Structure formats: C-alpha cells, structure tokens
Amino acid sequence: MHKRLVIFAAVIILAVGSAAAFLVTRKSADRASSMEKNDNTVLSLLSQEAKSQEAKGKLFIAKAAYQKLVNDFPGSSDILAWQKKIEDINIKLLFSGTITPGSALYEIKAGDTLTKIAREFKTTPELIEKSNNLSADKIIPGRKIKVW
C-alpha cells in the first residue's frame, strides 16, 4: 500500500511538473512572438517618422530617426538603405545654410578673407564657399556665413 502511494505521488508530481514546464514554454513563446510584433511595429513607425520628417525638410529629426533604426535594428535587411539616407542627409546639411552642432554662424568683418576665416575654424575656403553658395571668394563685411 505504501509503495502505491509513493508511485501515485510521483506520478502526480511528474504530471504537475510537466504541465508547469509546458505552460512556461508556451508563455515564453507567446512573449517572444509578442516582442517580435512590437519590434516590427516600432520599426515600421520609426521608419515612417524618418521618411515624414525628411519630406518636411526636418533633416536633424529624420537623421536621428534613421540613426535609431540603424542602432536598434542592426539585423534588418534595410540597414544599408538607412545608412545611405544618413549619408545623404549629412551631405545636404553640409552644403546648406542650416546651422548644425558641427558648424557656427560667423559674421564677416572688414579685412576678413575666406582663407583667414578657414584657418581660424580649421576648415577650407572651398568648404565655406560651397556651404554658403558663394560664387567667388569675394565676401562682404556684415554678411553672416556658416562655417564648419
């Protein structure tokens, strides 16, 4: 009688353990599936936001969104396209009059030359010329220019 009780208890324990293991495995799989769906939703929303901000001309925000996509989804098949977008936005910012964290607004003073300004900011006269759409190295005192 005692042996039967031990065997019965062992069977019950095994059954409960198996059921618990099944539930934990099932819950884990559900959680993984849910996380994957959330990741896809975040990826989709962030991608839409980046494109929208770029279309509106809000290049800083678009660049940040593309950079977040690159950082958060490194295994995505779209990563090269996002990196290309970041490069394109960097070029647009470089050759636009938009003041960025890497640039400064400089007011030209009498006696300044592009070479002198470039030397002061450790850049090139050509970059100053292109960034400000200057047609020649002729500059006018009082004018404000973007300098990298």
Hey, what are 4's tokens? 């039967």
Q: Where are the domains of the chain?
A: 2-94, 104-147
Alpha-carbon separation of residue 103 from 3, 18, 82, 90, 127 (angstroms): 84, 64, 24, 12, 12
Name the residue among 49, 146, 56 with its Cα closest to residue 101.
Answer: 146
Architecture of domain 104-147: Roll (3.10)
Per residue of the chain (148 residues), give pLDDT as tens: 666 665 665 556 655 555 555 555 565 555 555 556 678 888 999 999 999 999 998 998 999 999 999 999 999 999 999 999 999 999 988 887 778 888 899 999 999 999 999 999 999 999 898 888 887 768 899 999 999 8
